Structures are given as structure tokens and as C-alpha cells.
A and B are shown apart, each in its own frame.
Chain A
Amino acid sequence: MANAELTQQVTEPSRLATWFWPAFDFSRRFFLTLASLPFIVLPAMLPLSSLLLMLPAAIPDETIITESHQRGSAIRNLGARLFALGVGLASLVAILLPSHELAVRLGLTGIQKWVAIAVTAYLLDLVILAAVGNVPLRYNFRNLMVRWRITLLTAIAFTVVVALLTVMLAFVVGMYRVTEESGQPGNILILGDGSTDEVFSFLAYSDVDKIEVERCVLDEDDRPLAEPIGVKTITLGGRPRYMTSKETYAISIQTVPGREKKRFVQVRGVVEPELAALVHDLKLKTGVWFSDAGVRTPPGEKPGERDQVEAVLGAGVAREFGSTVGKPTLEVGDTFELSDRTWVVVGIADSDGTTFGSEVWAKQSIVAKLFSKNGYNSMVLRIDDRGTRAEVSRRAAEMAFHLRTRFTNPKISAQTETEYFNKQSETNKQFLFAIIFVAAIMALGGVFGVMNTMFAAIAQRIKDIGVMRILGFKRWQILVSFLLESLAIALIGGVLGCLLGSLSDGASATSSISSGQGGGKTVILRLSVDSTVILTGLLFTLVMGRLGGLIPALGAMRLKILESLR
């Protein structure tokens, strides 16, 4: 009887047990996997050669440099571990130092510098491993070629992700170029009191003359300056002139010719185009500046109502207008309708890559009348610009400070153009974050893809791994060889992706920049696939390849020889 009961108990485990324990076990394994991720991801970012040299610090049985290992006193063990750690760190420095040198030699700064250092370090690392590691590379690459279909399929994931990343980054770099290059270091932008953008700014005609002659003699801490700062003077047309540009700005609504749509056109009225061009460092690509009258009588007509407004177009807006009438760009002599008048193109400015590229310039008096403005929206001053860029910037900053704090007749808003455009790059940052987010998500896909492929490849080649271990290849050599294989896949895909993405270089695109406080300027930018973008794409693919390949390679490394051959 007791036996039967016992048997009963043994043969029918409770329902709870069948569900609970596997669930608990799974949760435990899942959490452990997740918890170990940082410890895998972070070391995965180190150059592999350093990682390997440091390996004995964590796994004492694995010796990389020395062959003999004395299982002995705890002190000896500790010494061996510290030695390994030291050697590893030394090799890390040995890789990073030349990479840093190279980046500095090439004159790179900022993000570009760090990305370049990372890429160089990784590539240097690969070269060291391939050359010194005694890794059976031919075996791995032959496998890639023999299994070219799955290699290509996995690589395609990288191509897609990197190509998209390249295009998106090219867009953002294009936006940054616009905001960076639109400002001159020696220029100060004057707006009406409390205004942050030109649209809502107002400067009375009578006020600007006083600003022009203002001189700043104290610095920001009220100490006397060595040399007073004032508006720069130049000789133009035989007379000395202040380098200032007084401008009236309007956003006009234009019906797109031939379509039902409307678009916004930025119009800037300047008083003296040649002077304004000097202030903004703009040159004409073709044509001439508008005349003093600002209008031109079309041939065969009498001067009057049908006069055409003379306009100089930014390169970007010329292309934009051209595209809607079936030409690559509008040219000198072409006309367009705006604000119920006919405008004629008298020149095209070489303004690609600046906000002026999206603007239509005309005579200020004409613009003011057309758009019912009875003052200026803004004024730009150029201060004395002798010396280095840093000196000029400092001087401009001091003058701007002076004008906005001490000058009260009237109160105005003054900032250096550099400051102003930096603020406009708020949107750039938002785009960058969005891009990084999306790229990270897609990177997940690439990482999983290569991880799965490598797992499968290793599963198929377990016997090969066993044979190589028997022949004497060490665990770490197996690790490195499979990691290099996954990196090769990543590089193939990534380089293809960079090439594909770089086809977008130079493409025109429209976007909007703003300082985040409402309003925004439309800018026409050119996608720019510069070296930073390419290097970032390469770095991205290398990181994805390492992350995806590390775990399977670790698995390959841990196989027991005898089990592999079964």
C-alpha cells in the first residue's frame, strides 16, 4: 500500500511543478543573460588584442604570452593576473596612442577626432591580430566564400543599416554646415528689443544710424579695453563706408507655378547689395547686383506699373524655382511672380551651404513697400576683423554685449552671428537624437542577424573546431578567428552601405531650422557625406560586427575538444 502511494507520488508530479520550475529556470537564465550583457558589451568595445592580453586576469588558465603557468601560491597567481592586466592595458595604450597621433596629425577635431581614433584603433587591432595571431585566417575567409549566399544575406542587413545611417547623417551634417557657415565671426546681428528672430523684430529707420557709430570701450567686466571696438570702415565707390547691412525681411507666399500648392519664399531687402555682400561674405555666381532703383522696366514697356523687381537669388532657391518650371535652376533673365509683381533674376549668389542660399534678395525700399514694412527687421555690423579668428570672435562678443546692455537708445537685441546661428541648430540636435535612436534600433537587427549566422556557422563547423584544437590551435585563436569572420561580414556589408549611402552626397534637400522658441527658417541644404559620416558608418558597422560576433565566438571558444568530434 505504501509502495503504491509512493509510486503514485513519483509518477504524477503536480501541475504547478511542471509549470513553475521551467518558468523559474528560464527567468533565471534570462536575467543572467541580460545581467551579463554589460560585462560582455563593454569589453567587446576594447581592441581585441588588449582584451586577449587581459584575459588571463579573468581566466588564469589561459596564458597568451607565457607558456608556463605555475599553479602555485596565491601570491604568484595574483602576480600573474596583475601582470596580464598590466600587459593588456599597455597594449591598449600602444594601440590608442598612434591612433590619437594620426588623428591629431590629420588636424581633426571634436567628434571627428574621436570617431577617427576609434576606427583607427579597431583597424590597427585587426592588423595586429591578423599578422601576429597565427590565426587560421585562410580557413575563415575560405568559409565565407564557400558559403557566399548566407554571407551576402547577412551582409545585406549591414548594408541597409549603414546606408540609411549614412544618408541620415549626411542630412544632419548638411544642416550643421548651413548653421555653421552662415555666420561670420566678426559679424553682429542687431534685432529689435526682445526679439529672437527676424520676423518679429523691428528697428526704426532713425535708430540704426546711432548704432552704426557706437563704439565699445569697456569689456564685459567694465574694464577698459586696449583698443576700442567699433564698426569696421571700408572704401566703397571711392567713399569711406561703415560695414553694415540694414535689412528688411519678409516671408512671402507664392503660388507654385502650374500647381495648386503654395510655398513660402524668404525675401530679404538690402539697402546696398555690394556692401551687404561684403558684410555677409557673399559673392555672385552669375549676373550682377540689383540697381539703385531696384526695378527694371521690361523691354518694350514704359516705366511704371509693369516694372519688374530686380532680384538676386540664392543658389538653393534658384534650383528650387527652376525645378518647378522644369529647369535645373533659374538663370539670369528668368522671371517669376511674387506678391502680385513680376520679379526678374539679375544675379545668382554663390551661397550654397548658407541660409542665404534659400533667400531672394532685392532692394530694401521695394521690399518694404511691397510688404508694408516701415522699418528694418535687422541690421548686421562687421567689427574690426584683423587678427586670428579667436580674437575676432572675442571682439565681436564684447561689442555685442555692449550693445545689448549699455546701448539703450533704443534698447536692442545684439548677438554675434555665430551665437545666433548656434541657437538655430536646436533642430539639428533633435534630428540627431532621432537618428541615433532609429539607427540603434536598426543596429539591433544587424547584430541579431550576424549573431544568428555565426551561431549557425559554428554549429555546422564544430568538427572543424575540434580538429583545429587538436592540432594545437588555442582557444583564443579560435575566438579571434570567428570574431574576424563576423567582422569581415560586417565590413563587407558596411563598406557597401557607405558606398551606397555616399551616392546621396550633394543631393539637395529642404529642411527647417529654428531655435526652438517657435518660428523657423526654411533652409535648402546639400547632403554632405564627409569623412566624419563615412568614419561613423564604418565605426558603426565594426561595433555591430563585434557585438554580434562576440557571443557566438565565445561559444566556439568554450567547446570541449572531445565533444566537438562526436
Chain B
Amino acid sequence: MKIVLVLFLVLFVGPFVLLLPFFGMLGAMELCARVGGRLSESLTATLPPKFGAAVIAIPKFAIIILKSIRRNLLRSSLSYLAVFVMVLVITGIWSILTFLDAATSAKAANFKALVTDKFQIPSQMPPSYIGELTREAANLPAGMRADPAKDVMTWSFVGTSLDPDPSKRSQENMIIFFSMDPRGLLNMMDDLEQDRLSPADAKQMRENVAAMQTNIKGIVLSEEKLRTINRKVGDRLKVYCFPGQYKDIEFDVEIVGTFPRSAGRYDGSAILNLEYLQKSLDAYERKTGKQHPMSNRYINLFWVRVPNEDAMRALAESLDKPGRFSTPPVKIERGSSAVSSFLDAYKDIIAGMRYLLVPAIVAVMILVIANAISISVRERRPEMAVLKVLGFQPWQVLILILGEALIVGVLAGGLCTTLAYYGVNARGGIQFPIAFFGKFFIPVESLWWGPVLGAIAAIAGSVVPAWSARSVRVSEVFAKIA
């Protein structure tokens, strides 16, 4: 039943809703043109004649173009909808590609570097590395060194479930934690840096961190995760670690806060205080008399912010010193390189999206417009002839056709990306599971992608029919009358 309702909404109400802004814009443009026409008429008295004629011509042309769009509203609407939908798909694809490009592009300065196992993944480094790596980073020469309080962060991935039975695991009861020092939340997480958040959101994060520091069993989840597991802030939970990883360890946690809504990237995320993990491993040892197999392997990633390339190279050298970091040996690389390596598996898919899919959709858009405009021109050949008889220049006839295509194309593209930017981002972004990215947001550049795509499709599609309209012979007007 729900599916039928959704289908109904999408098929019937959807196109209508999408068309309303189109009609609105057309109406507004016509209004402006009319008003502009009146104004310019009164202005022409004060201007030199040729200039005045040009000034009047613009709104008049606009009105003619808008009227011809109105004439066959059904066809214009169909073309508009087709372009709208296709620009939407391209926008989605480009958003994903843009984000991936940004994540893999190297910044010049002040970037995050990642220390991981040199030869294999996943990295499983001993806790002693935290202190040692931090010391190495803090002992770099001035201008290169890192501030231990603000520029380092470690992550430990802990998979847990609300149900101890592994066969009952599902999205609704799994929580995969980033176990870390809460301070890192303030300065080292992409999109959560204090100076990048709004004042209210920044405060929310500071409160989260304070709560986690006061209560080491406190955890922070995203609102969406909260919804998925059906809990609220303040609830206490017992979670059981996956037996394949932190076998026989359980956590008694309390939900002390959530990520600000603007941090959509962290929608599936959950933060656990590293101290609690460490205490739990110690407790295991006391209880069973044996070290937990993960005791010396629970640091998965070590992040450090470096001011420049030289600093990273200096740090790399110190990591390679014989005997220092050997079990396991580690390497340092830019965060963006690390992401690149992960995306290597998807390189063919990404290339396919970029070089096959998008051009193909653009080609189809152009063909749709070409078809619609050529029919429109064919229908109005006698009219074009009449215009020429009345004195319109060939290039002016061309402009009429080009203008019609441009208005429909640019409006379709522009309205589409505007809707996408505000609508999709508000809804939480595009869900496309690639590597470890779950959600992608539409960047602000999309606001000009739409109009440009629409314009390209319009011009490319209408150039041939517009040229043919331009070449209509005046004698044709008489052929029909006879």
C-alpha cells in the first residue's frame, strides 16, 4: 500500500510540483519583460534612436520567446522535465565525484597525516605507540612540530552489537565505535573543527566532549544512529563486542550526546572513550589472568596534523629509525593518499561514472532538446517567413529559437540544482556506499552546474534547427497561402 502511494506521489504529484516553479519563473520573466517594455518605451525618448530601438527590442523579443514557449506548454513541459531529471542525475554523480576528488587531493599546508602499519591492513598498533608517536611529532623542529593537545588523534574501531548472539546481528542493533580520546573531537575531525561549526553546534560538541571526559562510559552517537537503534540521549546500554575482534568484552555505556545535525557525514558514527576500552582490557586481564589478544593491537589509526610537507618528511624519517617502531613497522602518509589507496578498488567504477555515464546523459539531453526544438521550428516555418517579411533579420530569427531553448534549458537546470542543493542536503545527502563513505552532499558549486548544463544542452540541441529557421526563405510564406 505504501509503495502504491509513493508511486502515485512520484508519478502524478511530482511532475506537477516540479513544473510549478517553472511556470512561476516563466510568468515572472514575462512580467519583467512587459514592465521592462513599458519602461524602455518611456526611456527611448531620451536615448539616441539606434540605442533606443535596441533597448525596446530586448523586452519585446523576450515576450515573443516566452509566448512561443507558452504556446505548446505540453511540449515545453516535457522537455523541461526531461532536462530536469537528467541534470539531477548528473548533479548526483558530480557531487560524489567532487567529494571523492576533494578527499584525495593533497592540500598544501596544515593537512592531516596518518600513521599506519607499513605493510598490511588493518593496522593493529600497540598502545605504547601513542606516546612514542606523539613525542616524535612534538619534538620536531620549530615550524614543524605538532601540539599534543590539539594536533593528534588515535582511532580504534570496535564493532559491537546490542545482542550477544552473532547470528542476530542487524543494522538495528550494531554499533561500530570509533574509540578515541574525546579531545580529538574538537580539533581533528573533518567538518567538526570548532572554527568550522556554527556557534551553537560548536558548543554542542564541547558539551559532548566534556560529558565524555566526566563519564568515561559516555558515548556520542549521531541522531540517525539513535533512531536506527531506537534509543534516546540518556539511555544506558549494554553492548557486546564482536567475538572475532574484542572477544568476551562488553561495555556498559550511557548515551551522553549527539552529533550536530549539520555534520551529516557522521550519520552512522558512534564515539567511545578510549580510556574505557583500555580499562575494559585491563579488567579482562585481571579477571582471567591472561592478557587479551587485542591488548597490544588496539590502535588502528594515528592522526597527526602537520604544517607542511617538510614536517611530514621529517616525521617519516624518525619513524624509519631502526629499532624504534618495528612491531609493527609503520609508515606515514597524507590522509588524502590513504583515501586514494582505498578508492583504488573503485577506480574503474569512478572512471566509468566520469567518462562514460555523464557524457552519455549529456548527449541524451542534447538529443531531447534537439528533437523538441526541431519540431517547434518545423511547425512555425510559415511564421518565420512572415517575421522576415516584416523585417526581422536572419540572426534575430536565430535568436528567437536559441532563446526559447536556452530559457527552457537554463530554467530546468537551474531550478533542478537549486532544489537539489537545498532539498537533498536538508534530507541528509545522497546515500551511495563507496569504500567507507556513506553519504555525499551536494556542493555549492552545483548551483552553477545546473544552468550551465542546461545551457549547453540547449545550445547544442538547438543550433541546427535554429540555423534552419534562420535560413527560411521569405517566398515560403506565399507558398502556403496559394
Contacts and interface: CB of A to CB of B under 8 A. Distances in A.
Interface of A: 26-27, 29-31, 33-35, 37, 153-154, 156-157, 160-161, 164, 167-168, 171, 191-196, 199-202, 250-253, 260-264, 338-340, 370-372, 411, 413, 427, 430, 434, 438, 441-442, 444-446, 448-449, 452-453, 455-456, 459-460, 509-512, 516-518, 520, 522
A434 to B, nearest CB: 8
B322 interface: no
B433 interface: yes
A372 B345 contact: no
Chain B contact residues: helix, strand, loop or mixed: helix
Given A372-B327, A510-B347, A157 B120 contact: no
Given A200-B245, A253-B119, A372-B328, A448 B78 contact: yes
A453 B465 CA distance: 13
A160 B357 CA distance: 10
Contacts of A37: 11
Contact of A371 (B79, B120, B169): B120
Contact of B361 (A201, A413, A427, A442): A442
A38 B378 CA distance: 30
Interface stretch (B129-137, B253-261, B336-344, B414-422): B336-344
A195 B167 CA distance: 10
Contacts of A157: 363-364, 367-368
Interface stretch (B53-61, B82-90, B181-189, B444-452): B82-90
Contacts of B365: 445
Contacts of A171: 352
B474 interface: no
Contacts of B327: 372
Given A161-B364, A452-B372, A510 B120 contact: no
Contacts of B389: none
Nearest to A195: B244
B363 A160 contact: yes
Given A448-B371, A512-B346, A161 B78 contact: no
A441 B87 CA distance: 10
A100 B352 CA distance: 36
B120 A253 contact: yes
Contacts of A511: 345-346, 348-349
Nearest to B123: A253
B337 A262 contact: yes
B370 interface: yes
Contacts of A251: 120-122
A510 B160 CA distance: 31
Interface in B218-266: 242-245, 247
A438 B367 contact: no
12 contacts: A160-B364, A168-B352, A193-B166, A194-B243, A195-B243, A195-B244, A199-B122, A260-B337, A262-B341, A339-B120, A438-B361, A512-B346
Interface string B264-286: 00000000000000000000000
Contacts of B166: 193-194, 413
A442 B77 contact: no
B47 interface: no
Contacts of B361: 438, 441-442, 445
B390 interface: no
A456 to B, nearest CB: 5
A27 B15 CA distance: 11
Interface in B79-126: 79, 82, 85-86, 89, 117-122
A250 B360 contact: no
Contact of A441 (B85, B169, B244, B293): B85
Contacts of A153: 367, 370
Given A35-B12, A192-B244, A511-B349, 16 more contacts: A156-B367, A157-B363, A168-B352, A191-B244, A200-B245, A251-B122, A261-B337, A261-B344, A262-B340, A262-B344, A340-B119, A448-B79, A510-B346, A511-B345, A511-B346, A516-B433
Contact of B12 (A29, A34, A168, A192): A34
Contacts of A455: 375
Given A161-B364, A253-B118, A459 B356 contact: no
Contacts of B462: none
A445 B86 contact: yes
Interface string B139-163: 0000000000000000000010000
Given A510-B345, A522-B345, A253 B121 contact: yes
Given A202-B244, A371-B119, A444 B378 contact: no
B12 A264 contact: no
